[in-house]
Structure 1
Amino acid sequence: MKKTVLVTGASRGIGLLTAKTLAKAGFQVFAAIRGTEERNAAVVESLNEYAKQNNVQISAIEMDVTNEVSVNKAIEKIEQTNAIDVVINNAGIMPVGLTEAYTIDDYQKCMDVNVYGPARTMRASLPFMRKRKSGLFINISSNAGRIAIPYFGVYCASKFALEAYTEALHYEVEPFGIEAILIEPGGHGTDLVSNPPAPSDDKVLTEYGDLAQGRDKILGMFQGMFAQQDASTDAQNVANKILELIEMKKQRPMRTTVGHNMGIDKINQESDIAQIGLIDMLKPVYSGK
């Protein structure tokens, strides 16, 4: 029997590709989308047509990851008919610009989607999974969750936070037969770089002078790279890797990179040494044994 999967942020980009890829592989997919009857009504219609043409099981469900009531309602609705086996926390935004010029309000909006969003979704799903003693969370991080990049300070901070939250949770829910793991894509051609959230403090931007133009330059660099349509930057790679992780029979890695990883594999290997040592020392405490 194929598993039931919930994919957040499924209206576009990696989320949409993942929803379609998993449905085609035979999974029952719930594509979490906000504004299903308004702003994304056309996406829902397209998904319904896709399901019909390909004879697959994929259903759009209203969910706003920044709203706890919306998240809880969606997950409870799914659980009435389908036990959720896998959650893909994909919904995210990518602010690009001078770090100082992002106000605290700007920063909070990013964290609300990129960190609190997955936390809300996992908190809503975990009670059901703990009762069943099974479940899998795959949280979409980034290379930017392991290294700091100029003009990506706010985005990096949110992904660093997601990495820490996910890994700590992983060890805590492991005794229930539940996994929480991370996938770390490099640069892939999605609309995240089309019009990312810009900083709103114009006074700071002015004071930085020409340095404020770094946002446009770095975005231009990425857009130029994606325009070449190199196979390594195809976002489908991420969807394929997610499918591979779900179907993996052996123990899944805590972190999986996809595409150009800018040395992230080496960072992960080195940090694993310290992390594993720490966990071995703490396991008698957190495992209750």
Structure 2
Amino acid sequence: RNTGSKNKAIADELAALGAKIVNLDVTDDDSVNSGVAKAIALLGGLDVVVNNAGVGVLGLQEQFTIDDFKRLFDINVFGVQRVNRAILPHFRDQGSGLLVHISSLLGRIALPFYGPYNASKWALEALAENYRVELSGFGVDSCIVEPGGYPTGFMRNLMFPSDNSQNESYGEMVHAPEQMFASFEGALAGNPSQDPQNVADAIAKLISTPAGQRPVRTVVDTMGMGTHIEPYNNQLAQIHQGLFTAFGMEDMLTLKV
């Protein structure tokens, strides 16, 4: 979005490389519907949609108001649903398509001071996994990419709580979110292998993998968290398989190709 203003330089750079640029605001139904329709017209169809729009938070969970939560979920969850609803009729008509949902390792575990973000990414994980099951018979794939923290503009555009009226009651803990974030930034600076290009490469690999062979979840991390999440994901996949088999629905776990 904002391809004519704050994101113009990036849009121009991509256009110079041959990309077709479409302005789209995931928080606006009309913008999403018209943007997806324009993209289909420009490219003669679409095969892959990457749901990457998102915003993070930092602060004590109690201090985030309901309006704060609504704003966050409007981007991180409802925005994804808007985009998916706009593209899925096209995918079903052509009998194929790939939805890539950019989640986070914080969509698998909860860390203090990121509570609303945790909640939004846990919701996204459920949304994406349900789509994988409900769309498999139509040849439409739904996958999840779970990056760790990376040094991108995402870190500079965090949401903070609107209500600080309970600061005093938290005592010294009120400073903990900023202290934890500073520590994390230091860890990132000391780990140059945590390169955002890793995430782009993982997405590209997922796209190039033949339909029916793509994993549900792809972890992308070099800072140690990912090694704890991958066994959890593998265990969950086994549980999923067992439950669907028990209910006679195991065919829904196999993509029609």
TM-score by length of 2: 0.91
User: Who is 2:230 aligned against?
Assistant: 265
* Equivalent residue, structure 2, for 1:155: 117
Q: Is the 8 A contact 1:143 1:262 kept in 2?
A: no
Superposed, which structure 2 residues align to 1:40-189 within 5 Å? 40-49=7-16, 51=17, 57-81=18-42, 82-189=44-151
Secondary structure at the residue paired with 1:73?
helix
Q: What TM-score results when the alignment is normalised by the length of structure 1?
A: 0.81
Q: State the Cα distance separating 1:262 from its structure 2 match.
A: 5.2
Paired residues of 1:193 and 1:222 also in contact (CA < 8 A) = no
Q: Which deviations, in whole Å up to 9, do the C-alpha atoms of 1:9-57 show, x marking residues without a partner?
A: xxxxxxxxxxxxxxxxxxxxxxxxx1111222222222223x1xxxxx3
- Alignment coverage as a number of residue pairs: 247
Check 1:83–1:125 CA distance in 2 against 1; reply closer, same or farther (3 A cut).
same
What residue number does 2:2 align with? 35
**Where does residue 249 of structure 2 map in the other structure?**
283
**What is the 5 A alignment of 1:4-23?**
none
CA drift of 1:195 comes to: 4.2
Q: Could you tell me whether the CA contact under 8 Å between 1:193 and 1:223 is conserved in 2?
A: no
Structure 1 residue 206 displacement after superposition: 3.1
Write the letter of the residue equivalent to 1:38: S
**1:282 Cα deviation from its structure 2 partner:** 4.6
- AA partner of residue 147 (structure 1): I
SS of aligned partner of 1:38: coil
Measure, in 2, the Cα distance between the counterparts of 1:102 and 1:71.
Answer: 27
Q: 1:239 aligns with which of 197, 200, 203?
A: 200
Instruction: Report sequence identity in percent.
Output: 37
Bigger strand share: 1
Root-mean-square deviation (CA), in Å? 1.7
Unaligned runs of 5+ in 2: none
Whole-Å separation in 1 of the counterparts to 2:252 and 2:240:
14
Q: Are 2:244 and 2:250, in contact at CA under 8 Å, matched by a contact in 1?
A: no
> Structure 1: any 5+ residue segments left out of the alignment?
1-33, 52-56
Structure 2 CA distance, aligned partners of 1:223 and 1:193?
9
Q: In structure 2, give the amino acid aligned to 1:269.
A: N
Please tell me whether the aligned partners of residues 103 and 125 of structure 2 are also in contact (alpha carbons under 8 angstroms): yes
Amino acid at match of 2:234: Q
Residue 61 of structure 1 aligns to which amino acid in structure 2?
V
Q: CA deviation at 1:225?
A: 1.7
Q: 1:195 to 1:169 in 2, by over 3 A?
A: closer
2:144 and 2:217 in contact (8 A); partners too: yes
Q: Give the whole-Å Cα distance in 2 for the aligned partners of 1:40 and 1:179.
A: 30
- Tell me which amino acid in the other structure corresponds to 1:36: T
Instruction: Write the distance in 2 (CA, Å) between the matches of 1:139 and 1:252.
Output: 13
Partner of 1:209: 171
Q: Which is further off, 219-228 or 173-182?
A: 219-228
8 Å CA contact retained: 1:98, 1:205: no
Deviation string, structure 1 residues 187-242 (Cα, Å, up to 9, x no partner): 222122234111111102332122111111111012112222421x1111000000
The 3-state SS of whatever aligns with 2:22 is strand
Amino acid at match of 1:165: L
1:195 to 1:214, Cα distance in 2 relative to 1, 3 A: farther
